[in-house]
Structure 1
């Protein structure tokens, strides 16, 4: 297990009630939808695993469902490593199942794949190499794109490698990069100095966007089932608050 994954495993999780009570979260500077994804800019979402686009910024994507501008979703890995050692959820079964789950989830968010280009890179789950990913992304990212990834210190090695690759490519190609925490909501606490709160921006979501995000998460059944699911109820309750947080 990597040091990053140790961070997740070592935490019993922070209850959603603790985050809801945080005045710091309530007072974060707001960012509007048209500031995060301005008209005329292509939105690019780079997800380490099939479901991270929903967990990190599903509310943002749901809020853009009626927008017909082209977008790009990059699925870095197939998520085949989510159940190591399982006789039921073998890597091959996960590759097939998680792609189908993603298609259902994207439809529930309202994303029209006629307008969105979906690139699946098939890099190895739990072993994403930032340099290899950056080389692949250079062929996909354009100057002026708005690029969203997971956060550089999120606590999962693939989330971190993805963020590092996106940061490199965004700087080289003059795209603007935002990072969204996912697993940090599990292991961190309000005011945790390991998170760059002074840079954080909050996108408020309406009830319809939160509901679409909830329905999209439920499409990822492989991550929700069993006595010890990959995505526990405590983390999901936090991720379904009526806002999403981004670090520029």
Structure 2
């Protein structure tokens, strides 16, 4: 799915690396957080290092990501959904989750039901539990719907909302006034956590490599996009 904000190659990673920031550290929770992913791979892109550090974290897979290549000449939507579910399992295993807990909700990719998602999250959240979700201003409709639903569920249950940006790194630029930089918190990653995240992202073959020679089968996460997530820190809005 292409939105007005997500087009072209976006802001190059070297511009982000050159930006002088010193955001406060993210204080990790005592209990197991819930990481809510609009599509398979978002949980690793946004919080793979955190997931490597907290192997008791649970993941909510809101969609199966079947619409990533809507005109693919290789995979049907049901086949893509099956592939991406398997990739998620493998990615979490690579992050150290030997028996990962994944709550698969199977919302339609591109048509998330916010009200139903809010209700589902309310059943999983408790007062003080961390809920990590895609940022409400991320520029992708599914990411924003997930962020809004998570915010509503946290408000009802007393859980703590922490948001992670994904496509923001593509369309924004350092200091962009549309982004709540004042809410940024950083999680420095060890070399082992960074390597585990890289290894986990490599499990999403359907997204990082061409499905076939046709342009409609091009990777969604080519190297210049993946570069934004191979950092020594992860950034969250808290």
| Secondary structure at the counterpart of residue 162 of structure 2 | strand
| Secondary structure at the counterpart of residue 36 of structure 1 | coil
Aligned residue number for residue 204 of structure 2: 220
**CA deviations over 1:213-244 (Å, ceiling 9, x no partner):** 00000000000112631012112111110101
Task: Confirm or deny that 1:96 pairs with 2:88.
Answer: no
Shift of 1:36: 2.3
Task: Confirm or deny that 1:22 pairs with 2:19.
Answer: yes
Aligned residue number for residue 28 of structure 2: 36
**CA deviations over 1:13-67 (Å, ceiling 9, x no partner):** 111111110103xx11122xxx222x2x2310111111111001001111224xx
The structure 2 residue matched to 1:237, chosen from 210, 213, 227, is 227
Cα separation, 2, equivalents of 1:87 and 1:238: 29
1:63-212 paired onto structure 2 within 5 Å = 63-65=53-55, 70-113=56-99, 116-212=100-196
Cα separation, 2, equivalents of 1:187 and 1:234: 13
Q: Is the 1:150–1:163 Cα contact (8 Å) retained in structure 2?
A: yes
TM-score (norm 1): 0.89
4+ long deviations beyond 6 Å: none
Q: Is the 1:14–1:234 Cα contact (8 Å) retained in structure 2?
A: no
Q: What are structure 2's unaligned runs of at least 5 residues?
A: none
Q: Is the 1:7–1:155 Cα contact (8 Å) retained in structure 2?
A: yes
- Aligned pair count reads 232
TM-score (norm 2): 0.93
Shift of 1:154: 0.7
Cα separation, 1, equivalents of 2:205 and 2:234: 22
**CA deviations over 1:43-100 (Å, ceiling 9, x no partner):** 10111111111001001111224xxxx4321100010000011121210111110011
Q: Is the 1:42–1:145 Cα contact (8 Å) retained in structure 2?
A: yes
